[in-house]
């Protein structure tokens, strides 16, 4: 989320101090993500060596290569000619990383679900106690870890609809990566059913019965459908999200604007439960990895049921 709060994603397994090699993961139909696995991904993306993953920096190139290697290891194909959806930002190359699993149903595979999160952050900022690196563990290595582990979950499953896994760049610059990709896909006649954007899922909410909230809760029936699929109150609303218009401040919004379909951000972080937004102390040790794993494991079958529903159950509300 630009400026006020960000709700989104973070990449795969930490192999060595700074290795871009794939983790060599294997998958099974019984796969569930572990807290250690999520922590390993966040630890790589939010390490000091990546220097805050500012768009155009060497650190974000390293992060992108890491994500690409994870997709390759999982057998997830690029959607375009390669994994990088590249565009120019202020004279430098910027790139989303896009992986693709084709649906299995001849009549539904042309409908897509996007599972995304931004993997960029804000780089180096004013020093606090001698530290200048805004590591972006919660914002949004956390969300990116969800995208990668969900990709692993779906790698050996067949879903009726096709899935697009996206790590967005330049979210912190004004949602530039998601705007670029939304426009590019729209120009090809891309058929988007819905989008799940993941941001700042690294800490649990305070005093709620639900595990996460949905930005733009009232814009569609997505939360109700998710809770029905989950068989519990997985998703709620947030007064903070409404107050600060967080629906419009993360990478879901360009897809909502461009495609006019339900496109929301899932987050567990509001302004009451995390003190380090755009701060050098947004570091690995501030996150609750057991909570994160539990949330991702709850989201996975919900997204799977969304991808396999024979009719479009998710619809926009009139606003």
Question: Where residue 21 falls among pLDDT bands split at 50, 70, 90?
Answer: low
pLDDT at 26: 54
Does the pLDDT value for residue 11 go beyond 60? no
Bridge-based pairing state of the strands 263-267 and 191-198: parallel
Cβ proximity of 45 and 57 under 8 Å: no
Average pLDDT, the chain: 92
pLDDT at 29: 74
Query: CA 275 to CA 282: how far, in whole Å?
Result: 8
pLDDT at 318: 82
> pLDDT tens across 172-193, in order?
999 999 999 999 999 999 999 9
Calculate what percentage of the chain has a pLDDT beyond 90. Answer: 89
Does the pLDDT value for residue 4 go beyond 60? no
Mean pLDDT of the 4-16 span: 35
Query: CA 236 to CA 228: how far, in whole Å?
Result: 12
Query: CA 202 to CA 181: how far, in whole Å?
Result: 26
pLDDT at 22: 52
pLDDT at 25: 53
Does the pLDDT value for residue 257 go beyond 70? yes
Cβ proximity of 253 and 247 under 8 Å: yes
């Amino acid at each position: 989320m630009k400026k006020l709060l960000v709700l989104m994603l973070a990449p795969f397994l930490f192999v060595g101090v700074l290795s871009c090699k794939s983790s060599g993961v294997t998958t099974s139909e019984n796969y569930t993500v572990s807290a250690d696995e999520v922590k390993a991904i966040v630890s790589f993306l939010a390490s000091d060596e990546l220097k805050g993953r500012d768009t155009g920096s060497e650190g974000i190139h390293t992060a992108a290569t890491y994500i690409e290697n994870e997709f390759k290891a999982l057998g997830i194909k690029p959607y375009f000619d390669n994994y990088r959806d590249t565009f120019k930002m202020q004279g430098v190359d910027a790139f989303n990383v896009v992986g693709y699993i084709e649906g299995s149903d001849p009549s539904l595979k042309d409908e897509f679900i996007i599972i995304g999160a931004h993997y960029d952050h804000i780089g180096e900022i004013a020093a606090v106690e001698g530290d200048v690196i805004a590591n972006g563990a919660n914002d949004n290595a956390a969300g990116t870890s969800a995208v990668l582990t969900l990709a692993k979950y779906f790698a050996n499953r067949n879903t009726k609809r096709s899935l697009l896994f996206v790590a967005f760049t330049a979210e912190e610059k004004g949602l530039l990566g998601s705007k670029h990709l939304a426009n590019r896909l729209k120009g090809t006649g891309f058929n988007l059913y819905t989008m799940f954007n993941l941001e700042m899922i690294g800490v649990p909410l305070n005093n709620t019965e639900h595990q996460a909230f949905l930005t733009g809760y009232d814009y569609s029936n997505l939360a109700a459908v998710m809770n029905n699929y989950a068989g519990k109150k997985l998703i709620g609303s947030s007064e903070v999200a409404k107050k600060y218009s967080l629906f419009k401040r993360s990478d879901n919004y360009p897809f909502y604007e461009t495609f006019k379909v339900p496109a929301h951000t899932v987050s567990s972080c509001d302004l009451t439960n995390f003190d380090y937004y755009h701060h050098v102390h947004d570091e690995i040790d501030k996150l609750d990895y057991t909570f994160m794993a539990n949330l991702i494991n709850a989201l996975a079958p919900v997204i799977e049921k969304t991808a396999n529903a024979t009719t479009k159950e998710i619809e926009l509300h009139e606003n």
